Structure 1
């Protein structure tokens, strides 16, 4: 039997896999917000952003979703020159809880709207789909 003596200062010790995992998670938790704040936008400042057409205007409504318990609310605003049809989709966490595909809502230019739907219990994912509507003027 090999007997180890007391640890000497300066001697490297092995970290267990669990401690390495916890240490890595702690470093990631501290570094992630710093990296996100310093990263900036993913596109060039003079290039049009996501959802912009070649004339510089947005082509689809901007939507924000919030989850409160089992209820999802989506608020959308169409700042673009075109009409947009938005639809809320919810994937529920429980296998027996049916997923939700809400009704489409038509948003004309400079119009806002709100959609709300829910699962029975937990929400796994929620997202919005867009379908541009190109209206042809009469005449």
Structure 2
């Protein structure tokens, strides 16, 4: 029996798994075998703290790889959802403008008023923070 096969056998005896092979691969068991090979042929001698730390490190590494691989798709979905929300909000604003018979310049004046109001309050809060 080879050393890596012995390591795999000892790991499976100590930590029986009810997971499928695909789940085990995602959990990093192939990497775990290589980590165990670094520590020698008898993983039972390993301190359990280090053993669990290595397992967590391998799982985190796998999670990071999957995250990086899916990042482009995730960001594209997030962008599409954001664009859809912006479109819906714009349509709602247009409906409200028509419903209230508002002119665009009046809406722009309200936006300007709110921006000035928040700027003034922000300035007041900064003054209060500085006085403390």
- Provide the TM-score with structure 2 as the length reference: 0.31
- Provide the TM-score with structure 1 as the length reference: 0.30
Higher alpha-carbon Rg: 2
Report which of the two has the higher share of helix: 2
